[in-house]
Each structure stands twice: as structure tokens, then as C-alpha cells.
Amino acid sequence: MSEHPLQLFRFCPRCGSERFVVNDEKSKRCEACGFVYYFNPSAATVAVIMNSRKEVLCVRRAKDPAKGTLDLPGGFCDCHETSEEGVAREVMEETGLRVVRTQFLFSIPNTYPYSGLVVHTVDAFFLCEVEEGGNVVAMDDATEAQWIPLSELKNKDFGLRSIAQGVENLQKILNI
């Protein structure tokens, strides 16, 4: 197991004091000003877009981590954005498709390496309905977009652990 992320924070973000000490397993406290910082996971979303032939829209990752492996559209939520808004934005950015309806499926805790840090996330999976007639175009974090039958998806083809687990969960839920 790697170093706890709180160990990376040496100075109080409020007053700058070096007297920023461990408070408990998920927080640090400043002995100078009393500020308590809690290390909580970031919100992330995953889109499950399925057509009438029970094919799932998969993308190929353009960047690390897991560059070149399969993924489902999604990403981090922005500040002041709901998870539903976040998943719709990510689908538009990565595929050009407009989400018209979302349904929460399940969530999976995850870790995501980013800029030398391990970011803890809670990945919320949504079944997404997209506007009819939209053309799929791989953009942003995706180099390719393809429809793959749900029954043919193999979790080993997905480079991110939570996505692989999510595909497995989805196949169980839908008895595939």
C-alpha cells in the first residue's frame, strides 16, 4: 500500500503553519489555527450507453492511466455540477452524443493515479439514454469509440479496475 494521501499535505491550507498534524485516519488538524481538513473521495461518473441490440458504447483511452485500453465514457464531476450533469458533459466531450436521460445503477470506490498522486474516487455508474440520430465521434480523452455486444465484453480488456468491476456488475444485473 502506498503512503496515505494526507501525508502529502505538510502545511495548513488556511494559515500556512507547519503544525498541520494527523487528526485521525481521514483528517489533519492545524495546531495553530484549529482548521481541520478531511480527505474525502472525488465524485466521478461512468456512462453505460446501450443500443437496442444490447451493444454498449465503449471508448479507447487516449491517456494514462491505462492508455490504449477500453473504457466507458465518464470522468470527474466539476464543482457545482450534479453527477447527472457530469456524466452528460463527459459523454458529450468524449463522444459528441447528447444524454437525454440518466438512471443511477450503482457505485464503486476506486483509486485513480493522477500527476503522481493517488486520487480516491467514488465512481457512479449511470445508464444513459442518448438523443436519437447522434453520430458517435471519439474526442477528448478517447481515441476510438465502438459498440460492443454486452455479452462479449471482457473485464480484462478494461484498464481501470472500477470499470472492469462495473462491466462485470452490469452483466450480472442483466443476466448476460
The pLDDT tens digits for 84-130 are 999 999 999 999 999 999 999 999 999 988 877 788 899 999 999 99
Q: Are residues 14 and 78 in the same domain?
A: no
The pLDDT tens digits for 36-69 are 999 899 999 999 999 999 999 999 999 989 999 9
The pLDDT tens digits for 5-32 are 788 889 999 999 999 999 998 999 999 9
| Residues 43/126, Cβ–Cβ less than 8 Å | no
Cell, residue 147: 459498440
What is the pTM (predicted TM-score) of this model?
Answer: 0.88
Q: Are residues 24 and 104 in the same domain?
A: no
Q: Tell me the residue range of the domain where 61 lies.
A: 42-173
Q: Are residues 28 and 55 in the same domain?
A: no
DSSP state of 120: E
Q: Are residues 90 and 156 in the same domain?
A: yes
Q: Are residues 131 and 68 in the same domain?
A: yes
| Residues 132/34, Cβ–Cβ less than 8 Å | no
Domain count, the chain: 2
How far apart CA 170 and CA 166 sit, in angstroms, is 6
**CATH number for position 102:** 3.90.79.10
